[in-house]
Amino acid sequence: MQLCNLLSIVEKSTIVALFLLVCLPFFSETASSKLKPLSRVFTIVIDAGHGGKDSGALGSIVKEKDIALKLALRLGQYIQEYMPSVQVLYTRTTDRFIPLHERIALANNNQADLFFSIHCNSTLTRSNTVSGTETYVMGLHGVAENLNVAKRENKAVLLEKDYVQNYGGYNPYSSEGHIMLSMYQNAYLSQSLLLAEKVEKQFMHTAKRKSRGVKQAGFLVLRTATMPSVLVETGFLSNSIEEH
């Protein structure tokens, strides 16, 4: 199937769900005062995972970096069309490599209200038995499967020049390093969990997608977020049905 046809299908299921999620009265259901005042411009940062020399997960016909970018740009376009008062910022708008720490720094420096990191999932071997969406927040992984997802997404740091310095001595080859990262305290955990739950509910009820639920793991791209933040795995490229 051509990429444009694939994206039209993905748009109906993923973009619509995420767009409706953003339209929901997120603030009215959150009691915490840590959220930014509503008097200022509401800002959403959309992060297209991977890019450039980092292809991410590989399907039989597509690369994660390409799908993530298309989804990110379409989501931003939808938001700007239907909610022009919302400011949308992108970590990348072209196929280029962006270090993980620079992605969240963009959100922090612009005092963003929400941070969405968009990705595609994959298993070690191609299989149609594993499918669905899952949304992650920063936290301690409960099962090995969550840890493996974080390891896969975090290995992008190996393409960065000074990753040891930029991530406080983090070693992507060390299991202990991943455990320490997952224990990183996130002041916006409760809001991030609420946001993640809404994402998955929209996938289930609006897009009629299989939801694998809300999960926690240590992701470098979420490590220093100063706003509610989630990493969304929109489907499995290792599943030929979802890929097509």
Q: Alpha-carbon distance 244 to 242, whole Å?
A: 5
Specify burial of residue 233 (Cβ count, 10 A radius: 0-12, 13-18, 19+). buried
Instruction: Read off the pLDDT of each residue in 75-81 and give the average, rounded to a whole number.
Output: 88
Identify the CA nearest to 54 among candidates 158, 161, 168.
158
Q: Alpha-carbon distance 54 to 68, whole Å?
A: 12
Question: Is the entire prediction scored with pTM above 0.75?
Answer: yes
Q: Alpha-carbon distance 174 to 6, whole Å?
A: 37
Residue 32 has pLDDT above 60, yes or no: no
Each domain of the chain, given as residue ranges in start order, spans 3-243
Q: Which CATH superfamily is domain 3-243 in?
A: Zn-dependent exopeptidases (3.40.630.40)
Q: Alpha-carbon distance 28 to 8, whole Å?
A: 33
Residue 113 has pLDDT above 60, yes or no: yes
Residue 5 — very low, low, confident or very high, per pLDDT cuts 50/70/90? very low
Range with the poorest average pLDDT among 77-86, 184-193, 212-221: 184-193
The larger pLDDT score, comparing residue 146 to residue 131, is at: 131
Q: What is the pLDDT of residue 111?
A: 93
Residue 26 — very low, low, confident or very high, per pLDDT cuts 50/70/90? very low
